[in-house]
Amino acid sequence: MAVYTEVSDEELEEFIAGYDIGELVSFKGIAEGVENSNYLLQTDRGTFILTLYERRVDPADLPFFLGLMEHLAARGLACPTPLHGRDGAALRQLCGRPAAIVTFLTGLSPRRILPEHCGALGAAMAEMHVDGADFPMARANSLSVAGWRPLFEAARSRADTVAPGLAALIEGELAFLESNWPSGLPSGLIHADLFPDNVFFLPDRVTRAERVSGLIDFYFACTDQLAYDIAVCLNAWCFEPDASFNATKARLMLSAYRRVRPLSAAELEALPLLARGAAMRFLLTRLYDWLHTPAGAFVKRKDPLEYLRKLRFHQGIAGPGAYGIE
């Protein structure tokens, strides 16, 4: 989340008048994130999130994103629920941007990822996949294997300024992934960006163990192979700060996932390749942003070499047993 578009008091009050959410008490920008402008709204009836969708989001995708959150929330998944205005519309305009208000979720993203977080995440991710199985809309994953080479071509000429030999390494890995990418695995709705800052936790009142209290930021969600979502999470949750892989975290994540939604033999066998692909996806998007973000820009660039190290780990994996699968 971030703030790119400033909203005046008058514009905000007029916008909120289109909803039945009470009188505005306070609002403030939310600085975290990179994609959209977000505000925390407090009214005399509750707390909400206002999002203005910036230029990196295709307006044509917004009915999918908002419809998906509404669908998952109706199934009982803890995720933001879009609010409908007095005219019945969830998607509106504010300051020349598409905009929506969603419910506020309580909880905190983990600053230090513990094994119990990974187990709770695995179960929540599987529940999301099951709950999304009958979602009627579809959206292609524009950042899957077919979308990686254009990103690379936009960064190829300067890739070696980030790390010597990086362009050749990416070229070779891309050729391998394009030739060997799996197909025919169970597919459906995936989040595709389920990083720790998109997952909230709270202590369970009885056990005091950490439980997932919310999944947020569905603006990369799409239709793809379900196991690819797991591969993204193996990369995002199961490596330590020193770049070592924590098989215990991976085992807990996968075990909890499989208790909710069993994985086929083909999905398990494909995990190392999918994890390589997920590492390549984030290596390339980070590399692109690293090379194309102007100096002094508001957005903090993320180190692409973190995902080069993760890619190298997955390249050395002979089978899914390395992820703690018995």
- pLDDT top residue among 207 and 11: 11
Three-state DSSP at 259 gives helix
Q: Is 31 in the same domain as 119?
A: no
Q: Is 164 in the same domain as 300?
A: yes
Name the domain boundary from 51, 70, 103: 103
| Six-digit token string for 165 | 């030999």
| Six-digit token string for 261 | 């939604």
8 Å CB contact between 69 and 77: no
Residue 136 maps to a domain: yes
- Rounded CA-CA distance 168/294 in Å is 25
The residue segments making up the domain with residue 50 are 9-103
Three-state DSSP at 150 gives helix
Q: Is 181 in the same domain as 295?
A: yes
Three-state DSSP at 99 gives strand
pLDDT for the residue 294? 66
Number of domains the chain is built from: 2
144 phi and psi, to 5 degrees? Answer: -90, -170
- Rounded CA-CA distance 253/233 in Å is 9
Distance (Å) of CA 24 to CA 21, 82, 98, 102, 108: 9, 18, 20, 15, 25
Domain of 32, CATH number, reads: 3.30.200.20
Q: Per residue in 235-279, pLDDT tens?
A: 999 999 999 999 999 999 999 999 999 999 999 999 999 999 999
Residue 110 maps to a domain: no
Domain of 186, CATH number, reads: 3.90.1200.10
Residue 109 maps to a domain: no
Q: Is 39 in the same domain as 136?
A: no
Q: Is 157 in the same domain as 290?
A: yes
Residue 237 maps to a domain: yes
8 Å CB contact between 195 and 302: no
Name the domain boundary from 68, 103, 138: 103
Q: Per residue in 142-157, pLDDT tens?
A: 999 999 999 999 999 9
Q: Per residue in 29-80, pLDDT tens?
A: 886 655 788 899 999 999 999 999 987 788 999 999 999 999 999 999 999 9
Name the domain boundary from 103, 134, 162: 103
In what helix (H) or strand (E) does residue 42 lie, and over which residues does it extend? strand 37-43
Three-state DSSP at 29 gives strand
Residue 68 maps to a domain: yes
